Amino acid sequence: MTNRFTVTITDKESARDGRTAPAAPDETYLEVAQRAGFQVAATCGGRGRCRSCRIKILAGEVPPPGISDRVQLGHDEVHERFRLSCQTRVIADSAILLAPPRAETGHKILAGRAPAAGMALDSGVEKRHIRAAAPDDENDQTSDWDEVRAACGDRLVGAAPTDILRRLPGMLREKGGSLTVTTFNGEVIAIEPGDTTAHNYGMAFDIGTTSIVGSLIDLDAGEELAAVGGLNPQAVHGGDLMSRIAYAQFDAKRLQTLRAKVLGAVNSFVGEACAAAGIEAAHIHKVVVVGNTVMHHIFLGIDPTHVGLAPYAPAVRDAIELPAAEVPLKSTPNARVCLLPLVAGFVGADTVAAVLATRLDESEEIRALVDIGTNGEVVMGSRRKLMACSAPAGPALEGAQIRHGMRGAVGAIEAVSIEDDVTLGVIGGAPPVGICGSGLIDAIAKMLDARVLEPSGLLQGEDRGDLPPKLAERLVRDDAGVAFALSWARDAGIDEDITLSQGDIRQLQLAKGAICAGVMLLQKVMKLPTEKIAELMLCGGFGNYINTTSALRIRLLPELPADRITYFGNAAALGAQMALLSETERARAADVARRIEHVSLATDPEFQAIFVEAVQFPGANVVPMRRGDRRGRRTRTGR
Which C-beta is closer to ligand FES: that of 68 or that of 487?
A: 68
In the complex with ligand FES, the residue whose CB is nearer, 221 or 517, is 221
Cβ closer to ligand FES: 86 or 242? 86
CB of 417 to ligand FES, least distance (A): 31
Between CA 356 and CA 579 the distance in angstroms is 8
The Cα–Cα gap between 175 and 177 comes to 6
- Beta carbon nearer to ligand FES, 44 or 589: 44
Cβ atoms 40, 33 nearer than 8 A: yes
Query: CA-CA distance, 306 to 511, in Å (whole number)?
Result: 25
Q: In what order do the strands lie in the sheet with 284-291?
A: 223-231, 211-218, 201-207, 284-291, 336-339, 320-323
For residue 50, state whether it binds ligand FES (rule: CB under 6 A). Answer: yes
Interface with ligand FES by CB under 6 A: which range of 44-52, 191-199, 365-373, 621-629?
A: 44-52
* Residue 277 is a binding residue for ligand FES (CB under 6 A): no
User: Binders of ligand FES: how many residues, by CB under 6 A?
Assistant: 11
| Part of the chain binding ligand FES (CB under 6 A), chosen from 46-54, 142-150, 169-177, 403-411 | 46-54
Q: Return d(Cα 309, Cα 583) in angstroms, integer.
A: 34
Which residue, 485 or 581, has its beta carbon nearer to ligand FES? 581
**How many CB atoms lie under 10 A from the CB of residue 635?**
21
Asked if 73 touches ligand FES (CB under 6 A), the answer is no
Give whichever of 30 and 486 is closer to ligand FES, judged by the CB atom. 30
Pick between residue 9 and residue 500 the one whose CB is nearest to ligand FES.
9
Which of these ranges, 42-50, 266-274, 381-389, 565-573, lies near ligand FES under the rule CB under 6 A?
Answer: 42-50
Q: From 39-47, 411-419, 429-437, 580-588, give the range in contact with ligand FES by CB under 6 A.
A: 39-47
Alpha helices in 278-406 (DSSP H): 293-300, 349-358
Q: Please select the residue that binds ligand FES; options are 11, 34, 48, 379, rule is CB under 6 A.
A: 48
Among 33, 44, 241, 263, indicate the residue that binds ligand FES (CB under 6 A): 44
Q: Which of 46, 229 has the CB closer to ligand FES? A: 46
Distances (CA, A) of 410 to 233, 427, 538: 20, 5, 22
DSSP states of 233-295 as a string?
A: GGGGG-SSHHHHHHHHTT-HHHHHHHHHHHHHHHHHHHHHHHHHHT--GGGEEEEEEEE-HHH
Listed ranges 40-48, 121-129, 154-162, 268-276: which one lies at the site for ligand FES (CB under 6 A): 40-48
**Is 193:179 a contact under the CB 8 Å cutoff?**
yes
Q: Please, which residue, 50 or 427, has the CB nearer to ligand FES?
A: 50
- In the complex, the smallest distance separating the C-beta of residue 44 from ligand FES, rounded to whole angstroms, is 4
- Give the one residue of 53, 55, 213, 284 binding ligand FES; rule: CB under 6 A: 53
544/267 Cα distance (integer angstroms) = 26
Strands (E), 174-242: 178-184, 187-193, 201-207, 211-218, 223-231
Write the Ramachandran bin of 625: left for phi over 0, alpha for psi from -120 to 50, otherwise beta. Answer: beta
Q: Shortest distance, CB of residue 57 to ligand FES, whole angstroms? A: 15
CB of 222 to ligand FES, least distance (A): 10
In whole angstroms, how close is the CB of 544 to ligand FES at the nearest point?
Answer: 17
Closer residue to ligand FES (CB): 245 or 581: 581
In the three-class reduction of DSSP (H, G, I as helix; E, B as strand; rest coil), residue 20 is classed as strand
Distance of CA 552 to the CA centre of its chain: 21
CA distance 259 to 301: 6
What letter represents residue 236's amino acid?
Answer: V
Residue 46 touches ligand FES, criterion: CB under 6 A: yes
What region does 632 belong to: left with phi over 0, alpha with psi -120 to 50, or beta? left
7 vs 442: CA distance, rounded Å: 22
Q: 43 vs 143, which CB is nearer to ligand FES?
A: 43
Cβ of residue 286: shortest distance to ligand FES, in angstroms?
23
Cα–Cα dist 507/209, whole Å: 17
Q: Could you tell me where the DSSP H helices lie in 109-251?
A: 144-151, 162-174, 241-248
Residue 446 lies near ligand FES (rule: CB under 6 A): no
List 3, 7, 49, 73, residue binding ligand FES (CB under 6 A) = 49
Other CB atoms within 10 Å distance of the CB of residue 146: 14
Among 14, 43, 105, 256, the residue binding ligand FES under the rule CB under 6 A is: 43
Among 36, 42, 95, 525, binds ligand FES (CB under 6 A): 42
Q: Which amino acid is at 43?
A: T
Q: Cα torsion at 460, 461, 466, 472 (round to 10°)?
A: 90
How far apart are CB 33 and ligand FES at their closest, in Å? Answer: 11
* Measured distance CA(625)–CA(308) in Å, rounded: 25
> Residue 62 carries which DSSP code?
P
CB nearer to ligand FES: give 46 or 345.
Answer: 46
Least distance in Å: CB of 568 to ligand FES? 21
Q: Residue 14 or residue 43: which is nearer to ligand FES going by CB?
A: 43
Q: Please select the residue that binds ligand FES; options are 2, 8, 52, 305, rule is CB under 6 A.
A: 52
Q: How far is the CB of 523 from ligand FES (least distance, A)?
A: 39
Q: Which stretch binds ligand FES (CB under 6 A): 37-45, 201-209, 238-246, 444-452?
A: 37-45
Judged by CB under 6 A, which stretch of 50-58, 139-147, 225-233, 582-590 contacts ligand FES? 50-58
Tell me which residues in 84-143 interact with ligand FES (CB under 6 A). 84, 86
Using DSSP's 3-state secondary structure scheme, residue 205 falls into strand
What is the binding site for ligand FES (CB under 6 A)? 42-44, 46, 48-50, 52-53, 84, 86
